[in-house]
């Protein structure tokens, strides 16, 4: 019997050999790296094997096929599970242009170099870095919450694009999580919303091993998880033995036929399964087993004790005959179906093509408003609401909502037919996240990973509640959109708990995140124009609650300057400024008013509108120096936020009019006086700088 004939699909010996290959690759990789988490891959190898080789609709030859099932490893520390299975299924690598590269996404060499620089087998699953990873995970809870966004996306896509006889989108989302994920609040937020929305296409498998880093869960986590999820409205199943792949498969098939609610499978497992001294202990969680223990564990599996990184004959073939054949057949069937669909519903098919490439439809920016000059003006949030309503009508797959603040954020889509997304109206484009900012962030990420153009909104101060997800959007290079209103002290009376101070600095410090704080209604329009064209970057839009004058653009420079991050809004007659006033958002008008006064007093001041530091940073040096001339060191930055970081633009001899404390509860006008956001202070500071007191 040749090696490849050694066993066939459905053959228990073959199943076991594949499972033990996942286990031993994981143990060997962690040992070689001298870091990582061996115990959970050893315990969950049968689960991952069953999902992948018996159940999931996934074609390793085309890992971006749109109707594939999604697999999320929310307990990202167990990444060796994913690297092993991506390798053993020979999942193919795809580049950023969605082209197959003709090589495996994870090679055996990558696994040998687990956690080393440039290895595709990184410490945690990294979307964008390794093909076949559906989302970055590692911060516990994020993966499961993100999976809720994926499930919403699939529901929405199906509602819009499926037609009688054309089930174009009917995929499922499988997420694996541990005690840590289920302790994190973000998972609870996501689970609650998933049940409310009746996301029957969502299955979480909970690795109930009673172990976290500090030891037994008896220290911290003694709730009844089953009762909790039943309370949310989930379908809860239990598999008492993580090694029983037939029962796992049965539970997964019950998930497949459950209607109207998501499914949680509670799987009792033994961390470090097979390691005689470490099984069921926290030591199996986060450190290599050690050579001796590995040998003993391999002996318990009936494995050659000294073999390392061994993939026995027949293992690749077993996966090829399981997931390879099944996934390939399903993908080919789908492609055939999609070709017929293209013939019959060509406009819809063209939309799907665009979605999959993160494109925009022709005319996506038609009817964007142009706001006339108006000294009373309009609040940033109101301008934003008008723009969102135009964009959502121009771009079918642009949708989103707020964490219960739509009336304040002005994010509600009010046009006829927009509709609420609910269990019985999955075609709706208005999302209601409830008061769940953290899950909202993760769900927006899940929607973005599913190629939907999504936004989430709340008050800027509560961006803190969503920040871990925003950070992941930046790491994943997702074009997610976060709309934050009440950008500074505009909500006066609400007081310091509601007035952002350090949030802008935090957003600006996040690599790859585009932060924009527009100064008037036309800058809001330009901000959206800029954001919509981003394909690989998330954006944060920071908007005012209170009306801001709409600048007369025949007098001042056009708002399109926003696309360069900062631009010269106003100059003294003949140019050649001796002083530069730099401001963003609501403080721009303060700079403009001070500028007019200063001009009257013979000071040659310039006003620079700076809605985005990071976009300005990307401009060529000569442009930057044309806006902020190196020779002019009399510079004043004005912003109702922490002064942190403005030194880089005003230099050692400039001044920053900003916040050094938290705010206070009072009407806005009084706060402006108390904290010195008044033209008089700007004028006085300018004169002091220029030595003309």
Ligand X SMILES: Cc1ncc(C[n+]2csc(CCOP(=O)(O)OP(=O)(O)O)c2C)c(N)n1
Is residue 285 a contact point for ligand X (CB under 6 A)?
A: yes
Per CB under 6 A, the list member of 40, 485, 499, 586 interacting with ligand X is 40
Contact between 176 and 205 under an 8 Å Cβ cutoff? The reply is yes
Per CB under 6 A, the list member of 209, 384, 394, 458 interacting with ligand X is 209
State the binding partner of 446 from Mg ion, ligand X, none, CB within 5 to 8 A by kind.
none
Is residue 179 a contact point for ligand X (CB under 6 A)?
A: yes
> Please, what is the minimum distance in Å from the beta carbon of residue 178 to Mg ion?
4
- Taking CB positions, which residue lies at the least distance from Mg ion? 179
Characterize the bridge pairing of strands 547-550 and 374-379.
Answer: antiparallel
Per CB under 6 A, the list member of 53, 212, 384, 485 interacting with ligand X is 212
Binding pattern to Mg ion, positions 153-192, x when CB under 5 A? -------------------------xx-------------
Contact between 527 and 518 under an 8 Å Cβ cutoff? The reply is yes
Q: Closer to Mg ion at the Cβ: 286 or 629?
A: 286
Helix or strand or coil: residue 93?
A: strand
Q: Closer to ligand X at the Cβ: 88 or 211?
A: 211
Per CB under 6 A, the list member of 271, 466, 562, 594 interacting with ligand X is 271
Contact between 341 and 349 under an 8 Å Cβ cutoff? The reply is yes
Binding pattern to ligand X, positions 182-201, x when CB under 6 A? --x-----------------
Rounded to whole angstroms, the Cα distance separating 7 from 30 reads 29
Rounded to whole angstroms, the Cα distance separating 671 from 488 reads 11
Dihedral sign for Cα 205, 208, 209, 212, please: positive
Dihedral sign for Cα 402, 404, 406, 409, please: negative
> Please, what is the minimum distance in Å from the beta carbon of residue 607 to ligand X?
43
Rounded to whole angstroms, the Cα distance separating 513 from 443 reads 18
State the binding partner of 57 from Mg ion, ligand X, none, CB within 5 to 8 A by kind.
none
Max CA pair span of the chain: 97
Per CB under 6 A, the list member of 132, 180, 314, 377 interacting with ligand X is 180
Is residue 583 a contact point for Mg ion (CB under 5 A)?
A: no
What angle (nearest 5°) sits at the alpha carbon of residue 521, between those of residues 516 and 522? 80
Is residue 270 a contact point for ligand X (CB under 6 A)?
A: no
Rounded to whole angstroms, the Cα distance separating 312 from 298 reads 14
Q: Which of 177, 194, 83 is nearest to 139 (CA)?
A: 177
Rounded to whole angstroms, the Cα distance separating 488 from 545 reads 8
Is residue 211 a contact point for ligand X (CB under 6 A)?
A: yes
Contact between 687 and 693 under an 8 Å Cβ cutoff? The reply is yes
> Please, what is the minimum distance in Å from the beta carbon of residue 139 to Mg ion?
16
Q: Closer to ligand X at the Cβ: 38 or 314?
A: 38
Which DSSP helix (H) or strand (E) runs through 606? strand 605-609
* Segment interacting with ligand X, rule: CB under 6 A, options 25-33, 85-93, 174-182, 656-664: 174-182
CA distances from 223 to 40, 185, 228, 369 (A): 22, 14, 8, 53
Q: What is the dihedral of CA 92, 95, 101, 104, to 10 degrees?
A: -30
Six-digit token string for 118:
């440039």
21-59 burial, b at 16+ Cβ within 10 Å, e below that, comes to bbbbbbbbbbbbbeebbbbbbbbbbbbbbbbbbbbbbbb
Is residue 211 a contact point for Mg ion (CB under 5 A)?
A: yes
- Count of positions on this chain that bind ligand X (CB under 6 A): 19
- Choose the catalytic residue: 184, 437, 523, 639: 437
Is residue 446 a contact point for ligand X (CB under 6 A)?
A: no
- Which residues, 77 to 106, sit near ligand X by CB under 6 A? 77-78
> Please, what is the minimum distance in Å from the beta carbon of residue 76 to ligand X?
7
Q: Closer to ligand X at the Cβ: 139 or 262?
A: 139
> Please, what is the minimum distance in Å from the beta carbon of residue 75 to ligand X?
5
Which DSSP helix (H) or strand (E) runs through 605? strand 605-609
> Please, what is the minimum distance in Å from the beta carbon of residue 283 to ligand X?
11
State the binding partner of 40 from Mg ion, ligand X, none, CB within 5 to 8 A by kind.
ligand X
- Which residues, 132 to 171, sit near ligand X by CB under 6 A? 138-140
Cβ contacts of 47-50, under 8 Å, gap ≥ 24: 47/176, 47/205, 47/207, 47/242, 47/248, 47/267, 47/269, 48/22, 48/81, 48/82, 48/84, 48/85, 48/176, 49/15, 49/18, 49/19, 49/22, 49/85, 49/245, 50/245, 50/248, 50/249, 50/252
* Segment interacting with Mg ion, rule: CB under 5 A, options 19-27, 211-219, 349-357, 459-467: 211-219
Per CB under 6 A, the list member of 213, 307, 329, 350 interacting with ligand X is 213
Q: Closer to Mg ion at the Cβ: 84 or 269?
A: 269
State the binding partner of 140 from Mg ion, ligand X, none, CB within 5 to 8 A by kind.
ligand X
Q: Closer to ligand X at the Cβ: 323 or 443?
A: 443
437 in catalytic set:
yes
Rounded to whole angstroms, the Cα distance separating 520 from 588 reads 9
Per CB under 5 A, the list member of 50, 53, 146, 209 interacting with Mg ion is 209
Is residue 283 a contact point for ligand X (CB under 6 A)?
A: no
> Which stretches of the chain bind Mg ion, using CB under 5 A?
178-179, 209, 211
Enzyme catalytic residues:
437
**Site residues for ligand X per CB under 6 A:** 40, 75, 77-78, 138-140, 178-181, 184, 207, 209, 211-213, 271, 285
């Amino acid at each position: 019997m040749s090696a490849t004939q050694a066993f066939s699909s459905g053959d228990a010996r073959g199943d076991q050999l594949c499972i033990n290959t996942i286990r031993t690759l994981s143990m060997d990789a962690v040992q070689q790296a001298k870091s990582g988490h061996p115990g959970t891959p050893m315990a969950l190898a049968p689960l991952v094997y069953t999902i992948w080789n018996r159940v999931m609709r996934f074609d390793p030859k085309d890992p971006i096929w749109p109707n594939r099932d999604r697999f999320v490893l929310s307990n990202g520390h167990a990444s060796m599970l994913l690297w092993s299975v991506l390798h053993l299924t020979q999942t193919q690598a795809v580049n950023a242009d969605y082209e197959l590269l003709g090589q495996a996404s994870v090679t055996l060499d990558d696994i040998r170099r687990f956690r080393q620089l440039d290895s595709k087998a990184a410490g945690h699953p990294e979307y964008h870095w390794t093909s076949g990873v559906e989302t970055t995970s590692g911060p516990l809870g994020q993966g499961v919450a993100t999976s809720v966004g994926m499930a919403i996306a699939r529901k929405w896509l199906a509602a819009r694009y499926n037609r009688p006889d054309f089930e174009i989108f009917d995929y499922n989302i499988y997420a694996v999580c541990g005690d840590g994920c289920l302790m994190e609040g973000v998972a609870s937020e996501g689970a609650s919303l998933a049940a409310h929305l009746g996301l029957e296409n969502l299955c979480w498998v909970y690795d109930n091993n009673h172990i976290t880093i500090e030891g037994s869960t008896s220290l911290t986590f003694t709730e009844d998880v089953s009762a909790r999820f039943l309370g949310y409205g989930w379908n809860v199943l239990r598999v008492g033995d993580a090694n029983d792949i037939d029962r796992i498969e049965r539970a997964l098939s019950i998930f497949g036929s459950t209607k109207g609610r998501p499914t949680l499978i509670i799987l009792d497992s033994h961390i470090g399964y097979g390691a005689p001294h470490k099984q069921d202990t926290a030591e199996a969680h986060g450190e290599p087993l050690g050579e001796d223990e590995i040998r003993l564990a391999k002996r318990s599996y009936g494995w050659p004790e000294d073999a390392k990184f061994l993939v026995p004959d027949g293992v690749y073939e077993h996966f090829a005959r399981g997931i390879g054949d099944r996934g390939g057949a399903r993908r080919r069937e789908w492609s055939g179906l999609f070709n017929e669909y293209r013939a019959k519903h060509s406009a819809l098919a063209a939309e799907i093509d665009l979605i999959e490439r993160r494109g925009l439809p022709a005319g996506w920016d038609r009817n964007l408003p142009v706001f006339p000059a108006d000294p009373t003006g309009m609040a940033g949030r109101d301008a934003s609401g008008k723009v969102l309503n135009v964009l959502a009508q121009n771009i079918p797959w642009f949708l989103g909502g707020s964490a219960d603040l739509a009336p304040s954020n002005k994010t509600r889509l009010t046009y006829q037919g927009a509709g609420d997304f609910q269990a019985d109206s999955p075609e709706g484009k208005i999302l209601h996240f409830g008061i769940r900012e953290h899950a909202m962030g993760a769900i927006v990420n899940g929607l973005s990973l599913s190629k939907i153009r999504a936004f989430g909104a709340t008050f800027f101060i509560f961006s803190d509640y969503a920040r871990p997800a925003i950070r992941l959007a930046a790491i994943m290079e997702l074009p997610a959109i976060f709309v934050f209103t009440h950008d500074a002290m505009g909500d006066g009376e609400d007081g310091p708990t509601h007035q952002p101070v350090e949030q802008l600095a935090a957003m600006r410090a996040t690599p790859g995140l585009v932060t924009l704080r527009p100064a008037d209604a036309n800058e809001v329009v330009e901000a959206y124009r800029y954001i919509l064209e981003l394909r690989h970057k998330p954006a944060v839009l920071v908007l005012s609650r209170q009306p801001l004058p709409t600048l007369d653009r025949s007098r001042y420079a056009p708002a399109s300057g926003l696309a360069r991050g900062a631009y010269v809004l106003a100059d003294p007659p003949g140019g050649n400024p001796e002083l530069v006033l730099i401001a963003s958002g609501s403080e721009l008008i303060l700079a403009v008013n001070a500028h007019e006064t200063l001009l009257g007093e013979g000071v040659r001041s310039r006003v620079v509108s700076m809605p985005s530091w990071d976009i300005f940073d990307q401009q060529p040096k000569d442009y930057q120096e044309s806006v902020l001339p190196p020779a002019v060191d009399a510079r004043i930055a004005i912003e109702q936020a922490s002064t942190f970081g403005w030194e880089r633009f005003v230099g050692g001899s400039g001044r920053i009019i900003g916040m050094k404390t938290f705010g206070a509860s009072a009407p806005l006008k009084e706060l402006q006086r108390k904290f010195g956001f008044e033209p008089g202070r700007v004028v006085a500071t300018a004169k002091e700088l220029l030595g003309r007191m």
